[in-house]
Amino acid sequence: QVQLVQSGAEVKKPGASMKVSCKAFGYTFTGYYIHWVRQAPGQGLDWMGWINPYNGDTNYERRFQGRITMTRDTSTSTAYMELTRLTSDDTAMYYCAGSEIAVSGHLDFWGQGTLVTVSS
Amino acid sequence: DIVMTQSPDSLAVSLGERATINCKSSQSVLYSFDNKNYLAWFQQKPGQPPKVLIYWASTRKSGVPDRFSGSGSGTDFTLTISSLQAEDVAVYYCQQYYNSPWTFGQGTKVEIK
């Protein structure tokens, strides 16, 4: 069945970088944008951007420009999100989610989440 | 950016009663080209990722119980749970995918009275 499986929890020091992976199963990887959404503890959902796995095009939320890089490896159907210059405000659960490119569709399926804690 | 505002922030409803959540967007999310509202509703239970219930404002995702329904167009939308069940306790979010950046409402927490 359609599934996104994310990498495990991470603990990072302030100023460090994080890189989370999201491996796709059960569908055509290049047919769905992979979005990244984060959720700080006890807070709401915060959209970070997407990558088009077909051609590698990206669209980042302005607030993360200069700190975020989304990439993909079509040979392994895996998407990656790297965030640099981490602060405690980046402590959050990070989710990947898929939306169908052809119909400009909604966030249809989600990964299980990756908890990233930024602490000195 | 399109701002999504939900009301109320929380509500407590008796089992079997109706729950209604409202969502207002700061600009229309109705795309005239295809006459679709680019609006989705998500349910998030503690410790779980969000799950889509409704997309295109009123299309129920396959497998979602028919007590969940979405309505509205343009800037004003509603998620209705016609007969609240214990398993519906969750936080509900609306989200627009009309343009970038995609934005979510702040969430509405639904509890049992």
B102 to A47: CB separation less than 8 angstroms, yes or no = yes
B104 to A111: CB separation less than 8 angstroms, yes or no = no
- pLDDT, position A49: 98
What mean pLDDT is predicted for residues B78-100?
98
**CA–CA dist A20, A63 (Å, integer):** 19
- Read off the DSSP letter of residue B63: T
pLDDT digits (tens, 9 = 90+) for A53-98: 999 999 999 999 999 999 999 999 999 999 999 999 999 999 999 9
Closest Cα partner for B61 from B53, B51, B70, B72?
A: B53
**Confidence grade of residue A102 (pLDDT, cut at 50, 70, 90):** confident
Is the pLDDT at A104 greater than 90? The verdict is: no
B52 to A99: CB separation less than 8 angstroms, yes or no = no
Q: Which residue in the set B40, B52, B107 is minimally distant from A44, CB to CB?
A: B107
Is the pLDDT at A20 greater than 90? The verdict is: yes
CB A108 within 8 A of CB A95: no
How many other CB atoms sit within 10 Å of the CB of residue B110?
A: 20
What the block records as the tokens of A2 is 């359609």
What is the interface size between A and B, counted as CB pairs within 8 Å?
A: 55
**CA–CA dist A34, A22 (Å, integer):** 9
